[in-house]
Structure formats: structure tokens, C-alpha cells
């Protein structure tokens, strides 16, 4: 069974205020420290950071030590502000852009999931970076990559290939960093899309805790609007799906991404959405922590991002707190003062088993009959999800 309730961790996904992730090409430790001062001021205890794979491993035979040294300085900067660090490895996908090395593109085009030479190169990369960051005591987690399932269909894969890819790399990470959590991260098509080649079972079986990413632009905001119960409880719904699908009833769930994307959540409602969404999930007995996307806005002088990506930060590019930041700071202070208080829950049985019937995932997707029934029941208090016993 789960241990006695503990206060969840609160953090931010770190998006540099100056230059976005292009800033890795001209690393500025002083700018990083200014950003981390912002985050520490909110009461956050950790950041999730994103080194860029092709800039560390531009050739399958080259691991750039200077790039790793920059990452280590960033981790040290976080420690100076009392921040733990989770490191993602395969970037991979960030804010609608994909970053892949030239040795898997054009004439060298190969699936990163299925080609064994690419897998060998990735293993070397993961071992090198994981081994380096594990020397820093404030590094608590290493995730294989940010929503790596965004990299298909450009990189072909099958469910078995996706599973073996993640399993093998997690073994490599754990060998290089035995005292750090090794994790796997995907976006929620793995929960909701019947033909998706990444399956729920991987989320809850691979790695040392489950991670979920709650984005209301996946269709849930169309169910009942920015402050409707389906929208406000989507994070809690995903946590409950992950908890129900795991074979281990004590396995924690990290809400690794959540934010206030426009136009789904208008600016004037973002503070209220933040407070109410966190309140709906923070007392969940399975919750490990909440990590906001993102720390800072993207400078609008940078071109070609989807419009919603520019304004997801807790801070503007000139370090001004935004409404979501103020709300988040207030909630953190309250939770740390009063603690979390899991409440008795009712239970509702899903129409299918995500472990064994991934082809039926649409039956638990936002707007499905089951989802709407869960939302209606959630209005009266916490609702656990049970899986059918005949599957």
C-alpha cells in the first residue's frame, strides 16, 4: 500500500528566458542563475532540464565534453538555489520542434526506435550523459526524453519496438546512474489513441515511477470550457488512470507537465485554472509531484512556434511573474503549511483494460462515456478507477 501522505514536490520545466533552448549553443551561466532565482522565489524545489541530443552527439562516434560541462554547470547553478534537477536525455521533441542528429536524417535516415546502429549510438549517449549528471547530488531523476512518442511516424516503430527501445535505454541509464530515478516519458496519445504504437503498459511498468502530461488542448477543454469540471480534473484523471493500470499499488505518479495553454485557458482565467486544477490533484494519494510547463515564456522575436507555445511561462522573458506564477506560489505555500489530506474515494470501473486492450483506448479518452461518468462522479469527491477483472 502507499505510504502515509507526503507533500508533493513542486517544480518547473526549465525553458531559458533568453534564447530558448538555442541558448545551449552559447551557454551563459549567469543568465541561467537569473532564471533559477525566479523559480526559487516561487517556492519551487526542482527543475526538469533539456540538453539537446544532436548538440552533444553530433556524430555517432562523438560525445562533446564541452556540452556536458555546460549541463553540469546548469545543474550546479540549480543547487545554488536549492533546486533538485531532473534531466531529460533524448531531445528529441520540444515545443513543436524536433531535434535529431544528422546521422539519422536524409541519406542516413533511420528509425531511432528500430535501427540497431542508432540504438547503439543512443546507448552511448545515454550512458555518457547519465554518468556525468549522476555525479551531482541534486540530480534526482533521468528521463529518457521529452515525449519521445512525438518522434513517430518520422521514425517508424511498433509497440514491441517502442517497448524494447525504452526498456534497453532505461537499463543503460540505471547502470550509469544507479542512485538516480530512471524514467520513461510520453504524451497522452499513449493513453487515448487506439492505434498509437506506445502503450499505457509501458508508462506504468517501465522506469521507477509513472509520468503523465496533462494538456487540455488534447480535446478535454472542448468538453466543458476552461473552468469546466472535465478540464479542471484532467490531471487527476490521468493520475488515476496511471495508478489503476499499474500492477504496483504503491507506484507513484509524477505529473511531469501541466500548463495554461491559450486559447483553451484565456489569460484572465489562468490563475483560477492553476489554483483549482492543483487543488483537484494535489491530495491524490498516488501523486509524487507537479512540474509546471514552463518556467519562462519564449521570446516572440523567435519565429515559427505555434502561438500557444510563446506564453506558457510562469515568468515573462524579462522575469516578471505572471498570474499562474502567483497562483502557484500561493498554492505551494498553503500545501506546505497544511499538508495534503487524501479523502475517501468512490470507485468506477473502466470499460476496458489499458494493459491488455490498447485497441480500445478511445473508450477512456476525453469526452468518452466513461470519462464523462468519471467527471460526474468526481464532483462529489475523489474517484478511483478500477479495471475490469475479466480482461
pLDDT digits (tens, 9 = 90+) for 204-224: 999 999 999 999 999 999 999
Q: Which domains does the chain have, with CATH numbers?
A: 9-342 (3.20.20.80)
Nine cell digits for residue 247: 500492477
Other C-beta atoms closer than 10 Å to the C-beta of 74 total 25
Nine cell digits for residue 204: 506504468
Q: What is the CA radius of gyration of the chain?
A: 20
CB 284 within 8 A of CB 254: no
Among 218, 234, 235, smallest CA distance to 290 is for: 235
Angle at 23 between CA 58 and CA 181, to 5 degrees: 70
pLDDT tens sequence across 226-265:
999 999 999 999 999 999 999 999 999 999 999 999 999 9
Give percent of the chain with pLDDT exceeding 90: 97
> What H or E segment, with its residue span, contains residue 80?
helix 65-80
Mean pLDDT, rounded, of the chain: 96
pLDDT at residue number 3: 43
Out of 133-137, 195-199, 373-377, 387-391, pick the least confident: 387-391
pLDDT at residue number 5: 67
**The model scores a pTM over 0.85:** yes
Nine cell digits for residue 244: 489503476
- CA dist 358 → 6, 137, 141, 157, 209 (Å): 33, 39, 28, 16, 20
pLDDT tens sequence across 113-141:
999 999 999 999 999 999 999 999 999 99
HEC-encoded secondary structure of 320-379 = CECHHHHHHHHHHHHHHHHCCCCCCCEEEECCCCCCCCHHHHHHHCCCCHHHHHHHHHHC
pLDDT tens sequence across 379-388:
999 999 999 9
- CA dist 259 → 111, 254, 274, 283, 315 (Å): 31, 14, 8, 19, 13
CB 202 within 8 A of CB 192: no
Residue 347 β-bridge partners: 384
pLDDT at residue number 2: 41
Output b/e per residue, 272-309; b: 16+ Cβ within 10 A: bbbbbbbebbbbbbbbbbbbbbbbbbbbeeeeeeeebb
Distance, CA of 272 to CA of 274 (rounded, Å): 5
Among 125, 130, 143, smallest CA distance to 86 is for: 143
Distance, CA of 271 to CA of 287 (rounded, Å): 22
Residue 390 pLDDT exceeds 90: no
Burial of 89 (0-12, 13-18, 19+ CB in 10 A): buried
Among 164, 195, 170, 175, smallest CA distance to 185 is for: 170
pLDDT tens sequence across 144-184:
999 999 999 899 999 999 999 999 999 999 999 999 999 99
DSSP E strands in the chain: the ranges are: 9-13, 46-49, 84-90, 93-94, 97-98, 139-145, 181-183, 210-214, 253-258, 287-292, 346-349, 383-386
Residue 389 pLDDT exceeds 90: no
Output b/e per residue, 4-21; b: 16+ Cβ within 10 A: eeeebbbbbbbbbbbbbb
H-only helix segments in 90-233: 116-133, 159-176, 189-192, 200-205, 221-224, 229-232
Average of pLDDT values for 331-358? 96
Residue 1 pLDDT exceeds 80: no
Nine cell digits for residue 348: 468506477
pLDDT tens sequence across 259-317:
999 999 999 999 999 999 999 999 999 999 999 999 999 999 999 999 999 999 999 99
Amino acid at each position: 500500500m502507499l505510504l502515509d501522505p507526503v507533500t508533493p514536490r513542486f517544480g518547473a520545466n526549465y525553458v531559458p528566458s533568453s534564447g530558448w533552448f538555442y541558448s545551449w549553443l552559447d551557454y551563459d551561466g549567469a543568465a541561467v542563475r537569473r532564471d533559477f532565482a525566479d523559480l526559487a522565489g516561487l517556492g519551487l524545489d526542482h527543475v526538469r532540464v533539456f540538453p539537446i541530443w544532436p548538440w552533444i552527439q553530433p556524430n555517432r562516434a562523438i560525445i562533446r565534453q564541452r556540452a556536458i560541462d555546460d549541463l553540469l554547470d546548469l545543474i550546479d547553478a540549480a543547487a545554488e538555489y536549492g533546486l533538485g534537477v531532473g534531466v531529460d536525455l533524448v531531445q528529441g521533441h520540444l515545443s513543436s520542434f524536433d531535434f535529431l542528429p544528422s546521422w539519422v536524417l536524409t541519406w542516413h535516415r533511420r528509425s531511432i526506435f528500430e535501427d540497431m546502429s542508432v540504438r547503439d549510438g543512443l546507448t552511448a549517449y545515454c550512458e555518457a550523459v547519465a554518468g556525468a549528471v549522476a555525479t551531482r547530488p541534486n540530480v534526482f531523476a533521468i528521463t529518457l526524453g521529452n515525449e519521445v512518442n512525438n518522434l513517430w511516424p518520422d521514425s517508424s516503430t511498433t509497440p514491441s519496438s517502442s517497448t524494447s527501445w525504452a526498456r534497453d535505454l532505461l537499463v543503460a541509464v540505471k547502470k550509469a546512474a544507479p542512485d538516480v530515478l530512471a524514467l520513461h516519458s510520453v504524451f497522452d496519445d499513449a493513453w487515448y489513441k487506439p492505434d498509437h504504437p506506445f502503450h499505457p503498459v509501458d508508462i506504468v511498468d517501465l522506469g521507477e515511477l509513472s509520468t503523465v502530461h496533462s494538456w487540455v488542448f488534447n480535446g478535454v477543454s472542448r468538453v466543458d470550457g476552461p473552468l469546466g469540471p472535465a478540464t479542471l480534473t484532467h490531471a487527476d484523471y490521468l493520475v488515476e488512470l496511471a495508478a489503476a493500470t499499474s500492477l504496483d499499488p504503491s507506484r507513484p505518479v509524477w505529473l511531469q507537465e501541466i500548463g495554461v495553454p491559450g486559447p483553451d485557458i484565456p489569460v484572465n482565467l489562468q490563475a483560477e485554472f492553476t489554483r483549482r486544477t492543483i487543488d483537484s490533484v494535489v491530495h491524490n494519494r498516488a501523486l509524487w509531484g507537479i512540474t509546471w510547463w514552463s518556467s519562462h515564456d519564449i521570446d516572440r522575436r523567435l519565429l515559427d512556434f505555434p502561438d500557444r507555445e510563446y506564453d506558457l511561462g510562469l515568468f515573462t522573458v524579462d522575469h516578471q511573474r505572471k498570474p499562474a506564477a502567483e497562483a502557484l506560489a500561493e498554492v505551494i505555500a498553503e500545501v506546505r503549511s497544511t499538508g495534503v489530506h487524501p479523502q475517501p474515494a468512490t470507485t468506477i470501473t473502466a470499460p476496458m483494460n489499458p494493459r491488455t486492450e490498447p485497441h480500445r483506448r478511445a473508450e477512456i479518452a476525453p469526452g468518452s462515456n466513461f470519462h464523462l461518468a468519471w467527471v460526474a462522479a468526481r464532483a462529489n469527491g475523489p474517484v478511483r478507477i478500477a479495471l475490469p477483472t475479466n480482461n
